[in-house]
Amino acid sequence: MTTYKRFRVVADDPIRTLVEDFEQPELAAGEVLLQVAYSGINYKDALATRANTGVVRTYPITPGIDAAGTIIASQDDRFKVGQAVLVTGFGFGVAADGGWTELAVVPADWLVALPQTLSPKQAMTFGTAGFTAALAVDALEQHGLTKTSRVLVTGATGGVANFAISFLQAQGVKTIIALTRKTEQADYLKRLGATTILSPTDLPEKTKPLAKQQFDFVIDTVGGTQLSQLLPLISYGGSLALCGNAGGIKFETTVLPFILRSVNLLGIDSVEANLETRTRLWEKMATLWSVPAALQVNEIKLTELSATIADLLAGQHVGRTLIHLGGMTR
Ligand SMILES: NC(=O)c1ccc[n+]([C@@H]2O[C@H](COP(=O)([O-])OP(=O)(O)OC[C@H]3O[C@@H](n4cnc5c(N)ncnc54)[C@H](OP(=O)(O)O)[C@@H]3O)[C@@H](O)[C@H]2O)c1
């Protein structure tokens, strides 16, 4: 019997991870079997390997909220054997086994056909990080973002922020301000498209209900107290697309930015985004936005995941790390 490899998180005490062999699984109606070419690693995936992080409820599990590859068996009329597809979000890698495996069982409802011009490797270079950035830029465009807007991107060296900076540049935005704790990465961020680099220490020390208007739009991947500092700095009619919580889930505000400056707080969720939105934005990534040449992309094997997980959890990871599982190398 042929066996395949997958990464597993097992709920022993303490919780532990391993790479194990498994046999080809059976499919239920409405599922496909995906030969995974590439998966990625996101902050949420790193959390899925640790106890009490609220990401996973049932163990054992194979993490990996993103995967792209080729269908090798299908129990759904919409998808055929040989078709290239991608999956991000929904319950993948969280409520059900995910993409850190050579073979993945995926409900067909979660699949997006891979755009013609995108390889599985390119799709996973974007992954949930790219898709989330696409949702954020799209939301800001629907709220008035133009080429002359001053746009701040926080957690700038992270995956979501890297794509946000690059997509904004592709949209022709002239003022892209990267807010990062790692100011030594300034050259890298400028190559991605940032025009100004700020450190959290450049923000006003004391948070007033309203302060000097510095940014028209914000893409925030950090949340926490830094978000409290940013809301009073957004200019009249501006918007903040809130994507993440790398710096914490709690923030404080007053009503003033909202009722005196008409500021919009826009929630961004990549997990349950509908198929129409997914198809539209993946097509945009495949054609207009593309993977930035400057993006730092690392490629690893299943057995090399532990170090990357530790870096991500320590806020030390830069760019995107892909897991190559076999099959197509592009
Ligand atoms: N809404 C959604 O659907 C969605 C989808 C994907 C991700 N997310 C969330 O978005 C956030 C970013 O995800 P990602 O994949 O880009 O993660 P990532 O690659 O780990 O980037 C997060 C960045 O945030 C900054 N950061 C980390 N810890 C911090 C702290 N304690 N205080 C302040 N800044 C900190 C760091 O940037 P600097 O060192 O440059 O400041 C880090 O590079 C995460 O919270 C993730 O859960 C949400």
pLDDT in tens, 29-81: 999 999 999 999 998 999 999 998 899 989 999 999 999 999 999 999 999 99
E strand intervals along 127-181? 150-154, 175-179
71 CA to centre of own chain: 23
Query: Which of the listed residues 192, 221, 274, 278 should we mutate to test ligand 1's pocket, taking the one with most ligand atoms within 8 A of CB?
Result: 221
- Residue 213 is given by DSSP the state -
Q: What separation in Å is there between the alpha carbon of 2 and the centre of ligand 1?
A: 39
CA-CA distance, 312 to 293, in Å (whole number)? 22
Across the chain, mean pLDDT equals 95
Report the pLDDT value the prediction gives residue 330, as an integer from 0 to 100.
Answer: 53
Report the pLDDT value the prediction gives residue 116, as an integer from 0 to 100.
Answer: 92
Please state the pTM of the whole predicted model: 0.95
Report the pLDDT value the prediction gives residue 14, as an integer from 0 to 100.
Answer: 84
Structure tokens at 249: 């889930």
Report the pLDDT value the prediction gives residue 237, as an integer from 0 to 100.
Answer: 98
CA dihedral over 181, 187, 191, 194, signed as positive or negative: positive
Long-range contacts of 282-288 (CB under 8 A, 24+ apart): 282/86, 282/112, 282/115, 282/118, 282/123, 282/131, 283/115, 284/134, 285/115, 285/118, 285/126, 285/130, 285/131, 285/134, 286/115, 286/116, 286/117, 286/118, 286/122, 287/115, 287/117, 288/170
Q: Give Rg (Cα) of the chain.
A: 20
Cβ atoms of 250 and 69 closer than 8 Å: no
Q: What separation in Å is there between the alpha carbon of 220 and the centre of ligand 1?
A: 9
Q: Which residues line ligand 1 (CB under 6 A)?
A: 42-44, 128-129, 132, 155-161, 180-182, 221-222, 243-247, 268-271, 312, 315, 317
Q: What separation in Å is there between the alpha carbon of 112 and the centre of ligand 1?
A: 25
pLDDT in tens, 206-236: 889 999 999 999 999 999 999 999 999 999 9
Q: What separation in Å is there between the alpha carbon of 9 and the centre of ligand 1?
A: 22
Q: Determine how many CB atoms are found less than 10 A away from the CB of residue 143.
A: 15
10-residue averages of pLDDT along the chain (330 residues) = 94 90 96 98 93 91 98 97 97 97 97 96 96 98 98 95 96 98 96 97 92 98 97 98 94 97 98 97 94 91 94 86 78
Residue owning the nearest CA to atom 11 of ligand 1: 244
